A and B are shown apart, each in its own frame.
Chain A
Amino acid sequence: MNGAHDLGGMHGFGPINPAVDEPVFHEEWERRAFAITLAMGSHGKWNLDMSRYARESMEPGEYLSTSYYEHWIHGLELLLLEKGFLTEDEIQQRMTDIATQEKT
């Protein structure tokens, strides 16, 4: 399948602008996304190739405009749904609940 991930040799992305002394994680959600992805990986329900396939299934425009750990979370969510660990409704409901809690 073609996806936006196959970037080798593509033109037009501009300069790299490497950051100096960047932290391992930039924000708390990146820490959490990293850790739950690794922890769920150790259940052995999918392998690295499956995780990558799930991340790369992102719609190309979205893939290119989102950051690394967003790709991870997209992939993790897809695998959790596919393997029946969670349902979409459950996730939506929990997001609503947390958002409501945070407002109060």
Chain B
Amino acid sequence: MSKHHHTDPLPDTVLRVKALESLLVEKGLVDPAALDELIETYETKVGPRNGAQVVAKAWTDPEYKQRLLENATDAIVELGFEGRQGENMVVLENTNEVHNMVVCTLCSCYPWPVLGLPPVWYKSAPYRARSVIDPRGVLQEFDVELPETTTIRVWDSTAEIRYMVLPQRPAGTENLSEEQLADLVTRNSMIGTGLALDPESKE
């Protein structure tokens, strides 16, 4: 079983959230149905599967890839992914020479339309503190070992610009369809703390 490492909430946090919601609903400032819809959207519709489709298309369509690297926001909208926290997107291409990795040292800026909401580790103090001084050490924790000759570039997201990594296409995937390719694209590979899955080792 997975274990999450966020701290338990302060004793009155749960109560405070309930009180705020109940007052805001009572005053007509928020609509309960709209709240449920927001939750459902981010729990079931917006997530890394979106980004994986963008990556798979870039792997199979060189012209799309060029558009994506030139103007990521527009190229991502082409596939229907847009909205909050993705208004200004930049896509970073991984190659044999350069590996890109994304962090938000100040908070948790993350490209919601393509990756959904960030995982706890992305928002955690250790990741935010260490990725900019010890990226190789951080990658080791994610079981990623890169050759010494590979340059690692760490990109610090801001409220304005959100980054997504275009991972390298794994070898031996020439005959796979776009959909099959998308299955190899993990969330972490689009943050830069992982690589796309090897089709051989994928269950």
Q: Is the CB of B5 within 8 A of A19?
A: yes
Q: A64-B125, A67-B7, A77-B16 are in contact. Are A8 and B29 (CB under 8 A)?
A: no
Q: Is the CB of A95 within 8 A of B15?
A: yes
Q: Which of A13, A33, A35 has the most CB of B within 10 A?
A: A35
Q: How far is the CA of A8 from the CA of B158 in the complex (A)?
A: 13
Residues of B within 8 A of A36 (CB): 17, 20-21, 24, 30, 35
Q: Is the CB of A48 within 8 A of B159?
A: yes
Q: How far is the CA of A15 from the CA of B3 in the complex (A)?
A: 14
Q: Which of A8, A25, A66, A86 has the most CB of B within 10 A?
A: A8
Q: A34-B42, A77-B20, A80-B20 are in contact. Are A7 and B128 (CB under 8 A)?
A: yes
Q: Is the CB of A22 within 8 A of B123?
A: no
Residues of B within 8 A of A46 (CB): none
Q: Which of A32, A80, A99 has the most CB of B within 10 A?
A: A32
Q: Is the CB of B159 within 8 A of A49?
A: yes
Q: Is the CB of B15 within 8 A of A35?
A: no
Number of residues from B at the complex interface, CB < 8 A: 60
**From residue 18 to 37 of chain A, which have CB atoms closer than 8 A to chain B?**
18-22, 24-27, 29, 31-36
Whether, in the assembled complex, B34 has its beta carbon less than 8 Å from a beta carbon of chain A, the answer is yes
Q: Is the CB of B156 within 8 A of A8?
A: yes
Q: How far is the CA of A94 from the CA of B24 in the complex (A)?
A: 11
Whether, in the assembled complex, B130 has its beta carbon less than 8 Å from a beta carbon of chain A, the answer is yes
Q: Is the CB of A95 within 8 A of B19?
A: yes
B119 to chain A, nearest CB (A): 6
Q: How far is the CA of A52 from the CA of B105 in the complex (A)?
A: 13
**From residue 53 to 86 of chain A, which have CB atoms closer than 8 A to chain B?**
55-56, 64-68, 70, 73, 76-77, 80, 85-86
B99 to chain A, nearest CB (A): 17
Interface residues of B (CB under 8 A from A): 2-7, 9-10, 12-24, 27, 29-31, 34-36, 38-39, 42-43, 47, 84, 103, 105-108, 116-117, 119-121, 123-130, 132-133, 138, 141-142, 156, 159, 193
Identify 25 residue pairs between A and B in the complex whose beta-carbon atoms are under 8 Å apart, listed by A's number: A5-B106, A5-B107, A8-B132, A10-B129, A13-B124, A13-B129, A18-B119, A18-B193, A19-B120, A19-B121, A22-B119, A26-B6, A32-B17, A32-B35, A36-B30, A39-B24, A65-B7, A66-B10, A68-B108, A85-B27, A86-B24, A90-B23, A91-B20, A94-B19, A95-B15
